[in-house]
Amino acid sequence: MSDWDQRLKAAEEGAEHLQAQEEVAEARFKALHAAAEPQGKAQEALESEEFHSWMATRRATDEAWGKWAVLMDEKAS
């Protein structure tokens, strides 16, 4: 396995791991939001730790997939 293949595999595995974490964080937020909405507290849910955690994991996932894409571009060049 070449160095590029190893780096690509590591980048993909890392991105997939972060994506799984993002999905869990999103589910937690959506549950909180669904419970808050009937109480008229949907806006407060956007200020919650669950929302901030989801956004943080989302940014990390986007960054990880971006690094993966850069590696893919290296191979195409």
pLDDT, one tens digit per residue, over 29-60 is 999 999 999 999 999 999 999 999 999 999 99
Distances (CA, A) of 9 to 1, 18, 20, 26, 55: 10, 14, 16, 25, 25
Using alpha carbons only, what angle is made at residue 7 by residues 13 and 72, rounded to the nearest 5 degrees? 90
In the chain, where are the structural domains located?
3-76
Average pLDDT of the residues in 17-40: 98
pTM (2 d.p.)? 0.88
